[in-house]
Amino acid sequence: MSRGDRRTGDVIYSAWKMGQTFDAWQEHMNFDNWKKAYAENGLDMSFYNERKRNYDEILPWDVVDICVTKEFLQREDEKATRGELTPNCREKCSHCGAVKYRGGLCVDKIQDKIR
């Protein structure tokens, strides 16, 4: 559901009307009801769950500003695909954008260098 858009709200409501609650608990999960809810709303479940997404696609969570840039996340995804690791922030700044918080590892390390 985290990859959904506004239309998946109707899916959630339809599934709820079919009795879906506490789906994280295996004994309550009924996947057939979820498939029916998607179909009832004219949506393809695989569109949300299985397709490869483009980096320039607008994602549902893009409106949330966590200071970490989309460019950084793209670089991390590309590195992960190649099996490359990113150093811990304590070792080397990876320029993720979180320095905007003006606190934490990035800022502390920069301030230590200045002192």
Q: Let me know whether 71 and 105 are in one domain.
A: yes
Task: With respect to residue 87, please indicate whether it lies within any of the assigned structural domains.
Answer: yes
**Cα radius of gyration (the chain):** 20
Q: Let me know whether 40 and 80 are in one domain.
A: no
Residue 78 in contact with residue 55, Cβ under 8 Å?
no
Task: With respect to residue 60, please indicate whether it lies within any of the assigned structural domains.
Answer: no
Q: Let me know whether 12 and 44 are in one domain.
A: yes
Residue 104 in contact with residue 110, Cβ under 8 Å?
no
Q: Which residue has the higher pLDDT, 40 or 60?
A: 40
Q: What is the DSSP string of 13-77?
A: HHHHHTT---TTSGGG--HHHHHHHHHHTT--HHHHHTSPPPTTSPPGGGGS--S--HHHHHHHH
Considering its fold, how many domains does the chain have in total? 2
Task: With respect to residue 101, please indicate whether it lies within any of the assigned structural domains.
Answer: yes
pLDDT digits (tens, 9 = 90+) for 60-71: 888 888 888 889
Q: Let me know whether 109 and 73 are in one domain.
A: yes
Whether 13 shows a pLDDT value over 90: the answer reads yes
Task: With respect to residue 54, please indicate whether it lies within any of the assigned structural domains.
Answer: no
Indicate the pTM of the whole model: 0.63
For residues 60 and 3, give the distance between their C-alpha atoms in angstroms, rounded to a whole number. 7
Q: Let me know whether 73 and 110 are in one domain.
A: yes
Q: Let me know whether 44 and 72 are in one domain.
A: no
Q: What is the pLDDT of residue 112?
A: 59
Helix (H, G, I), strand (E, B) or coil at 6: coil
| Tokens at 79, concatenated | 């590195």
How distant is the alpha carbon of residue 15 from its chain centre? 22
> By residue range, what is the domain housing residue 19?
7-49
